[in-house]
Chains A and B, each alone.
Chain A
Amino acid sequence: MRFWIPAMVVVLVAAGVALSPVNEYFFYASYIVLTFVVLATAWNILGGYAGYVNFGTAAFFGIGSYTATVLFKWLGAPLVVQIAAAAAVSGLLGFGVGMLTLRLRGIFFAIATVAVIFIMETLMINWRYVGGATGLQLLRPEVMAPFESYTRMLFVVMAAMAVGAVALARWVQVSWIGRGLRALRDSEEAAECAGVPTLKLKLFACTLSGALMGAAGAPMPMYLSFIEPVSSFNLTWSVNALAASMIGGTIHWLGPVIGAVILGTLQQVVTVTISSEVNVLVVGVLLVLFVVAAPEGVLGLLQRWIRFFK
């Protein structure tokens, strides 16, 4: 209850704002921030709880986008169906990637996930149905009342998805799954000796993480009315998900949310005032800063300050 009431409040506030006369650009920018919240939360399930640093966010995100595109182009499927299908396909991909790579340690796992991104991108480039390297122009369906514009509706959808993702992450964290993941993060061998089913837990985390990232990718083609492989599989999605979690703090579900909001908002402000490539500089600098000076993230800093002032 302590969680669900504020969670519902967030969704209601989002819906309320979407129906109010706030400037259209706010929704355009906030959609991206909310996407980061979902991606960072999803990343943290495998990266923070289990300690498997995953660079492959862009692969799952991109496949989610393309799954949604295929469903839209082939069946004219509504958004909800697109999201569900994208989650299923990306979850499956997560499971497959997990089977292939979770036996590798540290940097090998990370590089393997980068390989998955490029292989997925190459597959999409060679598939003419989704436009290949050229890309596809997509016409949105008419927006349902009461929303004034499609972007506003996507904003509410993404807000709901963010709450859902956080709820799932919180559930994983407090359940026996989370305990098992923490155990294997601290020492995989010790956990196995203690009887923790490490492979099953890792696969579960990988699948859930992938599914959420795919779901986050599903509304993107509608958001842009356009899809093409280079931006869908851009490594920048990976670095943002990773950075947001590390900046916010990886041990608790609140960390990725804080990190994503800070990072995303900062990037959107920079885009409007300076230019969009300084965004990547912002991510890189913040990531390096936090990883070097504040490894526990904002949550860790807050904890230290609270203890200091007590």
Chain B
Amino acid sequence: MEQSRRKVLKAGAALAVTAGLPVRAARAQQNVVKIGMSMPQTGSLGAGGQAALVALRLWVDDVNAKGGLLNRKVEFIAYDDQTNPANVPGIYTKLLDVDKVDLIIAPYGTVPTAPLMPMAKQRNLLVMGNFSFQVNAKVKHDMWFNNAPWNDASSWSDGFFANGKRVGAKSVAFLAADQEFAQNLANGARALAKKDGLKTVYDQNYPPTTTDFSSLIRAIRASKPDMVFVMSYPNDSVAIVRAVNEIGVGSGVKMFGGGMVGLQFTPNMVNLGSLLNGIVNYNSYVPGMKYPGIEDFLARYSKRAVEAKVDPLGFYLPPFNYAIGQMLEQAIRAVNSFEHGKIAQYLHGNEMKTVVGPIKYGKDGEWANPRVVQAQFRGIKDKDMDQWRRPGKQVVLFPEQYKTGDLVQPFEKARG
């Protein structure tokens, strides 16, 4: 008898404790609109995420200074997923069911965003994407809007391969992390390389936790490629740059880089310094590119970033995160509602004005007109943050409308 009673009592106790949990949830929502997200603030993407958060918080303050959205003050909630996709479902479930947020923004990066997509589709939620790559390709959610200046693989790798062909490159080596971003990009790039008639002499995936790239770089060197297309996340990108410096990639390589995330984060740029010279890599914005209002934004951002002890330059993510806020603002004001379906309809059918220029969406929720830049690092000195503000340190090779110079090759010579 004591066993059965104990069992029922236990079940009841567990029920009571956990049912009483969400006490903070049911509060009057009339005066406040809650926007919630998970943002990688530590881990591989952490440095970028922290900078992005400063920009988002700047937008929230700007909007609230104007009276809020539809006369409701914006309350912003952000948790840290540590760049670990396993943390994401739990965080967004908490945001939706415990914090009861009205709108969600995706975490920065493809890898943390991947687990969110099925949940968003199943619960019919509007998601503002944050610099992820093709993360909606399989789920095909129709209320997804990415803030990144690329759409598919060719928008990314066209610039890289075009430069290679111009200097007579015939073969390519692929090195990609085994994670959502790099694999999405690698699948696209491989097909494009074949179409272009390039010969693939090396093609390896590595587990995302790899820290020592000496063997991989050695193997790449042995395969004697003309171009090396690397698709990596910040921790690996830094390790690869260091390994290339230690081991060397061979005198025949004309171009190295392409899809290395993290070489756009200011802390990495400053720490790696001259090791970056010669690498051709993608970017979203480099000083000198003319977007309306961007210089003013960067100045205001810089002040807040210095206070928060975070990346003071803010070139890569912050302007595009501020743009997320601007897009939400325009859409919500236009449809006069917070209903996800209505906002999505507006975003699909209109062009929004933002601090990174006009943004128009294709049917898949990616930009209709991509604007990915491929730039070569030149003349970088060690331990100098201010050099990055001056144009000329990242020479834009592609696209034509922003081009500021030609490729210097071979890669080993450009590193000199």
> Which residues of chain B from 150 to 199 have any CB-CB distance to chain A below 8 Å in the complex?
178-180, 183
Contact A28 B93 (CB under 8 A): yes
Nearest CB to that of B88 among chain A residues? Answer: A226
Contact A2 B178 (CB under 8 A): no
Contact A271 B118 (CB under 8 A): no
B98 at the binding interface (Cβ < 8 Å):
yes
> Which residues of chain A from 16 to 38 have any CB-CB distance to chain B below 8 Å in the complex?
17, 22-26, 28-30, 33
CB distance from B186 to the nearest CB of A (A): 10
- How would you classify the secondary structure of chain A's contact residues: helix, strand, loop or mixed? helix
**A interface residues, how many (CB within 8 angstroms):** 46
- Contact A272 B86, CB 8 Å, known A6-B8, A17-B15, A139-B139: no
CB distance from B193 to the nearest CB of A (A): 19
B65 at the binding interface (Cβ < 8 Å):
no
Stretch at the interface among B18-26, B327-335, B355-363: B18-26
CB distance from A190 to the nearest CB of B (A): 31
Task: Pick the contact of B138: A23, A137, A272 (CB < 8 A).
Answer: A137
A75 at the binding interface (Cβ < 8 Å):
no
B290 at the binding interface (Cβ < 8 Å):
no
Nearest CB to that of A230 among chain B residues? Answer: B86
B30 at the binding interface (Cβ < 8 Å):
no
Nearest CB to that of B136 among chain A residues? Answer: A137
Contact A10 B115 (CB under 8 A): no
A150 contacts which chain B residues (CB < 8 A)?
Answer: 122
B122 contacts which chain A residues (CB < 8 A)?
Answer: 139-140, 150, 225
A135 at the binding interface (Cβ < 8 Å):
yes
Contact B118 A137 (CB under 8 A): yes
A3 contacts which chain B residues (CB < 8 A)?
Answer: 3-4
B180 contacts which chain A residues (CB < 8 A)?
Answer: 134-135
Nearest CB to that of B119 among chain A residues? Answer: A225
CA of A272 to CA of B10, assembled, Å: 21
B205 at the binding interface (Cβ < 8 Å):
yes
Which of B8, B14, B15, B18 has most chain A Cβ within 10 Å?
Answer: B18
B304 contacts which chain A residues (CB < 8 A)?
Answer: none
Contact B10 A258 (CB under 8 A): yes
A138 contacts which chain B residues (CB < 8 A)?
Answer: 118
A224 at the binding interface (Cβ < 8 Å):
yes
Task: Pick the contact of B121: A7, A9, A133, A139 (CB < 8 A).
Answer: A139
B94 contacts which chain A residues (CB < 8 A)?
Answer: 25, 271-272
CB distance from B85 to the nearest CB of A (A): 6
B208 contacts which chain A residues (CB < 8 A)?
Answer: 133
Q: List 20 A-B contacts (CB under 8 A).
A: A2-B3, A3-B3, A3-B4, A17-B15, A23-B25, A25-B22, A25-B97, A29-B18, A125-B178, A132-B205, A133-B178, A133-B205, A133-B208, A134-B114, A135-B114, A140-B118, A225-B122, A268-B21, A269-B17, A272-B98
Interface of B toward A, CB cutoff 8 Å: 1, 3-8, 10-11, 14-15, 17-19, 21-22, 25, 84-87, 89-90, 93-94, 96-98, 114-115, 117-119, 121-122, 138-139, 178-180, 183, 205, 207-209
